[in-house]
A and B are shown apart, each in its own frame.
Chain A
């Protein structure tokens, strides 16, 4: 009798330990892009159950996370747009990871490339680790290059070469007065792309985005004007971009002109490889890094993608499971799943040596370009400043202001924000 009771008590006591632990995870990545990561994790850790919310589409994920933080109902773990990481750091919504990465060899800082890792820092503390990478690049149509007498295996490298190539690639196939093929496609005011596209040119021109010591935004420098002037001249002066791209942010399929063979080069991200394979399977494409202002400048790109973070409100008993999940998501083995879902690029340099890439030159090129990525600027006001820059680009594109005027106005708005909030 006694024995039986003890057994029962023991059973009752151990039950909570044996019961599967639940973790709530939010992500802005689609199911197709992220589900394999979570499925595999559950398979390897049968004692942990994940409740994953996929919240794709623009700013939906960020908006919902803000609201949930406000209401005190955040998830346990989230992946989030690298540029939103600082905003949540500012809201004090994420768990600082500094101690963790020092003591846990599976999460050590030295495992990650500097550009992507820098996106997880805010005010000297580390709030998130890189999970998936996304760097801007330029895709080009090899057939049009050949058609216009350009070497498809030696894409333009400098700004001048690029302009020259784009002018050659803008022509009228049908023989009409207006071109029916354009050299380059990009939408000047695509919200996420303003920084994604312009910042590499800005950095290569020698610009510094902001000075946190002096609490000032400094992107309205000569470098800023030069970078913006260069990109806008492709539209306004050289007319190598289809006019309909101006202002088309959010109202068009950004890749369709390229896929239709109506433009030779287009601004894109790594997902373009899958898109071309699906929608224009016969098209032969190449990927090139952003051209540089001079022949001896190193090309760079913007470090986009998603980080993974643990929410500050997580309960103590769930923390070990959350750390386990994080370890898995950033591990080499986990990162290899990007080769399968292709939503983002891996953030581990080791993977470049994978035999997988030996037979996939395009994916290898995209990963190589991404690994040159420049760390994004650190500011508490990324979203706002991005909007101000977007306004500046639109004003320039519509001919309502010069790059100098537009950037000065944007910097003025940004600095006003710094003054008001007291945060750089």
Chain B
């Protein structure tokens, strides 16, 4: 039984990875080999030609740096704002709290595309178009509501006793939030942080509209621009670009997968 399930697991896993493995295989083939039938998996004349050709068309180093900066800063701000608000919603009654919470939860249902044109005009007025900060603001708006909701759920599930005794010892609410609640929320910080970062790193549509300079473009947009309408798709070039676009994320994932999966799982269970 165990051997059978293992075999099934392995088969599904390999099947699942086929599109990605095929992408990698293609990226290392010279052009004539890509279209030679019957198809073959191992490049007979492995080459980096497709990568150079991709890099000639698009500055991937710049794209990496942009994605990293935008993803990192939006994650940081989202975590800070969401944990603060989540704590207030969970523990501190104040006037308008219910309305704000309701607004926050219902805003998760606003598809951002609906807001894109007005958002663009707003960003322009703030002179934030074509800077990474405009994109960061968009992402904070995009991911904050979900994050608030995760933090609130987590804080609600915490036992109150520690915080209560801190209050009785004269600690301010800010102190309780910063010194007690936040450290306790580490699993949620990890889960929400990873979620936000991965989402921001991968986000395509908003980035496409809000950045129109090579200097501010993120990876997914840079990749999509490898395509050419009149000649169609140059498969080798596009596959090499795709490999370059996802390799860093995959490496990070393989290194951190235990923590990432654990974080996500715990976050969801508490959520």
Binding site for B on A (CB under 8 A): 26, 30-32, 53-60, 63-64, 67-68, 70-73, 190-193, 250-256, 259-260, 269, 271, 275, 279
Contact = CB atoms under 8 A, between A and B. Distances in A.
Interface stretch (B145-153, B208-216, B263-271): B208-216
18 contacts: A26-B212, A53-B213, A54-B214, A56-B228, A57-B228, A58-B228, A67-B120, A68-B212, A70-B117, A73-B124, A190-B230, A193-B230, A251-B232, A254-B230, A254-B232, A255-B232, A256-B232, A260-B35
B57 interface: yes
A67 B229 CA distance: 20
Among A53, A59, A71, residue most surrounded by chain B Cβ atoms (within 10 Å): A71
Interface in B218-239: 224-235
B32 A56 contact: no
A292 B86 CA distance: 72
B213 to A, nearest CB: 6
Contact of B231 (A32, A53, A271): A271
A137 B89 CA distance: 66
A32 B35 CA distance: 26
Nearest to B53: A278
Given A53-B214, A68-B212, A251 B233 contact: yes
Given A30-B57, A53-B212, A60-B225, A71 B124 contact: yes
A57 B225 contact: yes
B61 to A, nearest CB: 15
B232 A71 contact: no
A123 B157 CA distance: 67
Given A30-B57, A53-B214, A70-B121, A252 B228 contact: no
B35 A256 contact: yes
Given A53-B214, A54-B214, A67-B209, A59 B229 contact: yes
Contact of A253 (B121, B123, B226, B232): B232
A366 to B, nearest CB: 14
Contacts of B129: 71, 73
Contact of B227 (A30, A58, A72, A275): A58
A254 B120 contact: no
Contacts of A259: 35
Contacts of A269: 230
Nearest to B209: A67
A255 B123 CA distance: 41
A253 B234 contact: yes
Contact of A57 (B31, B117, B121, B227): B227
Binding site of A, secondary structure by majority: helix, strand, loop or mixed?
Answer: mixed
Given A30-B57, A57-B224, A60-B225, A250 B232 contact: yes
A401 B212 CA distance: 40
Contacts of B121: 70-71
B174 to A, nearest CB: 39
Interface string B122-135: 01100001000000
A377 B131 CA distance: 39
B95 interface: no
A279 B31 contact: yes
Interface string B187-217: 0000000000000000000001100111000
Interface in B57-90: 57
B2 interface: no
A192 B230 contact: yes
A57 B231 contact: no
B235 A253 contact: yes
A73 B229 CA distance: 26
B173 to A, nearest CB: 41
A70 B234 CA distance: 33
B127 to A, nearest CB: 9
A279 B229 CA distance: 19
Interface in B107-145: 117, 120-121, 123-124, 129
Contacts of A58: 227-229
Given A58-B228, A67-B117, A68-B212, 10 more contacts: A30-B57, A32-B56, A53-B214, A55-B225, A58-B229, A70-B117, A73-B124, A250-B232, A250-B233, A254-B232
B124 A252 contact: no
> Which 10 pairs of residues, A with B, have the shortest CB-CB distance?
A254-B232, A71-B124, A58-B229, A64-B212, A57-B225, A253-B232, A252-B232, A253-B233, A279-B31, A71-B121
Contacts of A190: 230
Contacts of A54: 214
A275 B53 CA distance: 14
Contacts of B232: 250-256
B95 to A, nearest CB: 37
Contacts of A72: 124
Contacts of A26: 212
Contacts of A193: 230
A252 B227 CA distance: 10
A31 B225 CA distance: 13
Contacts of B120: 67, 70-71
Given A30-B57, A53-B214, A73-B129, A255 B231 contact: yes
Nearest to B122: A71
Nearest to A196: B230
Contacts of A251: 232-233
A297 to B, nearest CB: 26
A260 B37 CA distance: 11
A56 B124 contact: no
Nearest to B228: A57
A259 B208 CA distance: 33
A63 B224 CA distance: 14
A279 B120 CA distance: 42
B222 to A, nearest CB: 10
Contacts of B212: 26, 53, 55, 64, 67-68
Given A32-B56, A70-B121, A192 B229 contact: yes
A193 B232 CA distance: 11
A16 B229 CA distance: 43
A106 B188 CA distance: 66
Nearest to B227: A57
A127 B35 CA distance: 44
Contacts of B209: 63, 67
Nearest to A52: B214
